[in-house]
Amino acid sequence: MAAFKVFLCDCDGTLTDGGMYYLQDGTQLKKFSVADGIGFELLKARGIKIGILTGEVTPIVEHRAKRLKMDFLHQGCTPEGKLKALKDICAQEKITPAQVAYVGDDVNDLLVLECVGFKGCVANAHPHLKALSGIVVSTKNGGEGGVRALIDLWLDNPKVLKS
């Protein structure tokens, strides 16, 4: 098994609860889990690069990525755009998709999930993701520590980090 070098995930529905919250003036809000953020810090402490591939384009996600010192942020991605971003990251890092972990929540994540080494989804993911061969389903929902639960599982598996 190739050692994992990069951990990527979707944002809305994966790092958030998928809700779209708006104030009266139109300002958008998103709820992120602190537990997920700590999970990303644990990955970075082990030298694993982290990032987000998302269909949305919003300063909120950019702010969250900066706060977590993410190595990669690709916004405005179609499903094909997420796959291209994955390939670009692999080329930049001189790794294969087999050395990448990815966590998503909906069908727009399928193209990426089908080619990475670790496939994960949050507990409330779309049934098509849960049916994907080799997928690991989190015990928690998106926005409620679902990514952290997978990171903990991932880091607790000695085969994952083996060179």
Which residues define the annotated binding site for Mg(2+)?
Answer: 10, 105
Burial 56-94 (b: 16+ CB within 10 A, else e): beeeebeebbeebebbbbbbebebebbbbbbeebbeeee
Distance separating alpha carbons of residues 51 and 74, to the nearest angstrom: 8
- Give the annotated binding-site residues for substrate: 12
- Give the annotated binding-site residues: 10, 12, 105
Distance separating alpha carbons of residues 29 and 49, to the nearest angstrom: 26
